[in-house]
């Protein structure tokens, strides 16, 4: 146990093992909450910018997975909406199509749509 945790327990002065457990559970719960808040802020501020499509979506999926593991999952629809918000204007056409799809696509289908759009754009510029 770290010195900081030991000092906290000395200050709290628990009388039973259960009280020790409850204090430690509260400390780690607070850490989960602050980690969740930071990760959600990072997720909302993500932009494609200099990343390629695969790296962008891999990072989004990674953050969503971590959020789920700390007990703060993000819905599949919210993940897609967050990803849409981080795209540059050149993907506006694809974004408009995606937001009107029924059923709403999951992240994998969304990535496929964007990769197809990139492929079409590359083909069109080679002629």
**Shortest CA distance to 76 belongs to which of 45, 47, 110, 48?**
110
90, 122 Cβ separation under 8 angstroms: no
Full domain range(s) for residue 91: 3-125
44, 84 Cβ separation under 8 angstroms: no
In total, how many domains does the chain have?
1
29-38 pLDDT, tens digit per residue, is: 767 888 899 9
53-107 pLDDT, tens digit per residue, is: 889 999 999 999 999 988 899 999 999 999 999 999 888 888 888 888 888 888 8
pTM of the predicted protein model: 0.69
């Amino acid at each position: 146990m770290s010195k900081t945790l030991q000092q906290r327990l000395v200050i709290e002065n628990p009388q039973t093992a259960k009280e020790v457990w409850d204090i430690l559970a509260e400390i780690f719960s607070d850490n989960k909450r602050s980690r969740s808040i930071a990760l959600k802020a990072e997720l909302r501020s993500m932009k494609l910018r200099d990343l390629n499509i695969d790296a962008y979506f891999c990072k989004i999926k990674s953050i969503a997975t971590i959020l789920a593991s700390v007990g703060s999952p993000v819905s599949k629809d919210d993940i897609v909406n967050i990803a849409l918000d981080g795209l540059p204007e050149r993907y506006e056409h694809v974004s408009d199509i995606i937001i009107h799809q029924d059923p709403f696509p999951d992240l994998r289908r969304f990535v496929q749509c964007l990769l197809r759009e990139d492929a079409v754009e590359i083909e069109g510029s080679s002629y």
